[in-house]
Amino acid sequence: MKKSLFMTVLIICVLGLTLSCAKDNQGEVTAEKGKTITDSLGREIIIDKYPEKIISISPAITEILFALGLNEEIIGVSNYCDYPEEAQGKEKVGGFEDPNVEVIIAKNPDLVFASAGVQEELIKKLEGLNIKVAVLDADNIEEVIANIVITGKITGKERKAEEIASAMTQKLEEIRAKVKDQPKPKVFVEVWDDPLMSAGSGSFIHSIIEDAGGINVAADNSERYYTFSMEKLLEIDPDIYIINTHSHKPADVKNRNGYHVLSAVQNNKVYAIDDSLISRAGPRVIQGLEEMAQIIHPEL
């Protein structure tokens, strides 16, 4: 009898331990010990426990984290993390290029998410302070999708990440298939108006234009964003001119000095798009791609 009772208790304990350590990845709290994940820079991130206190200093990554359902785990974001609305209520830890390291240290995060490029010095500083950092970066939609999967693995949200990745991949393939054999109009995206700036071949915007079935007229420069001369704009004469919704309206472009000779203006092909949809490497890029494709190929 005692032996039977002991075995029953033992089985219950084993089952309880198994269930607590093997919850599905919508709500995991512990990770496989020593789980190693490679980030966008090829750095190995060792995960012994899924992070319960996360700081994101990248608006794009913040959007990924919220899409994965990590609202409660996020304890700090950058000043520019404004989407979704819940992000605006999170404590701010400073700018994108100059976050407050002291504030980050004081919050004692389990993990900080950062971007490559301008944040690399910050990454070294945080690692020197024994703060774990995961770095994500993307130049096209496939890399955004890969980053979502990576984030899911790091945070224990693999199933949700795979669902989002699958839906994004399907939509990307659908749009590419629709525009594949269509004529490719010349597209100019205005990143800034004074001085006039556009997106080069190294930019995320460039990949969006191409996936949407257009030709980026600023692609002869490999910089992400660079100054574009009015003389060159007139010479290239884009078929479509796109501005962002936060700066001007299409009518403003049409009324600019000298712009009346552009084919895009004469043919009423000046449009506005939310720049966060085509410049932030997060889940909403698919919406940005869809809007860009509708602008470039409305007939489809």
How big is the CA angle at 183 (ends 177 and 187), to the nearest 5 degrees?
100
On whether residue 93 sits in a domain, the answer given is yes
Which of 141, 168, 195 marks a domain boundary? 168
Give burial (CB, 10 Å; 0-12/13-18/19+) of 59. Answer: buried
Range of the domain at 37: 23-168
How confident is the model over 118-142, as pLDDT tens digits? 778 888 899 899 999 999 999 999 9
Phi, psi for 17 (deg, rounded to 5): -65, -40
Mark whether 207 and 150 lie in a shared domain. Answer: no
Closest CA to 60 of 188, 151, 165: 151
Give the residues across from 241 on adjacent strands.
188, 270
How confident is the model over 143-166, as pLDDT tens digits? 999 999 999 999 999 999 999 999
- Mean pLDDT, residues 73-83 taken together: 96
Which of 140, 168, 196 marks a domain boundary? 168
Task: With a cut of 70, say whether residue 113 has pLDDT above it.
Answer: yes
In this structure, are strands 240-244 and 186-189 parallel, antiparallel, or unpaired? Answer: parallel
Mark whether 255 and 120 lie in a shared domain. Answer: no
Task: With a cut of 60, say whether residue 221 has pLDDT above it.
Answer: yes
Mark whether 153 and 82 lie in a shared domain. Answer: yes
Tally of domains within the chain = 2
Which of 138, 168, 198 marks a domain boundary? 168
Task: With a cut of 70, say whether residue 217 has pLDDT above it.
Answer: yes
Give the pLDDT score at 28.
45
Mark whether 225 and 158 lie in a shared domain. Answer: no
Mark whether 163 and 31 lie in a shared domain. Answer: yes
On whether residue 173 sits in a domain, the answer given is no
- Mean pLDDT, residues 224-231 taken together: 94
Query: Across all residues in the chain, what is the average pLDDT?
Result: 88
Q: With H, G, I as helix, E, B as strand and everything else as coil, classify residue 126.
A: helix
Phi, psi for 56 (deg, rounded to 5): -120, 125
In the chain, DSSP finds a helix count (H) and a strand count (E) of 12, 13
On whether residue 13 sits in a domain, the answer given is no
On whether residue 284 sits in a domain, the answer given is yes
How confident is the model over 10-56, as pLDDT tens digits? 333 433 333 334 444 444 445 555 689 999 888 899 988 999 999 99
Task: With a cut of 60, say whether residue 4 has pLDDT above it.
Answer: no
Mark whether 153 and 241 lie in a shared domain. Answer: no
Give the alpha-carbon dihedral of 58, 64, 69, 73, to 10 degrees: -20
Which amino acid makes up residue 216? N
Taking CA atoms, 189 is separated from 112, 138, 161, 214, in Å, by: 32, 19, 31, 11
User: How far is Cα 64 from Cα 145, in angstroms, rounded to an integer?
Assistant: 10
Mark whether 78 and 145 lie in a shared domain. Answer: yes
CATH number for position 283 = 3.40.50.1980
Mark whether 130 and 81 lie in a shared domain. Answer: yes
On whether residue 9 sits in a domain, the answer given is no
Q: With H, G, I as helix, E, B as strand and everything else as coil, classify residue 183.
A: coil
Mark whether 126 and 214 lie in a shared domain. Answer: no
Record the tokens describing residue 41, joined without a space: 């820079």
Which amino acid makes up residue 102? E
Mark whether 28 and 147 lie in a shared domain. Answer: yes
On whether residue 174 sits in a domain, the answer given is no
Give the residues across from 227 on adjacent strands.
197
- Mean pLDDT, residues 51-75 taken together: 97
Residue 85, number of CB atoms within 10 A of its CB: 8
On whether residue 3 sits in a domain, the answer given is no
Q: Which element (helix H / strand E) includes 20?
A: helix 2-21
CB 79 within 8 A of CB 73: no
Mark whether 119 and 243 lie in a shared domain. Answer: no
Q: With H, G, I as helix, E, B as strand and everything else as coil, classify residue 261.
A: helix
pLDDT level of residue 266 (50, 70, 90 thresholds): very high
CB 272 within 8 A of CB 250: yes
Mark whether 193 and 159 lie in a shared domain. Answer: no
User: How far is Cα 293 from Cα 179, in angstroms, rounded to an integer?
Assistant: 8
Give the pLDDT score at 210.
97
* pTM for the model: 0.86
On whether residue 99 sits in a domain, the answer given is yes
Which amino acid makes up residue 80? Y
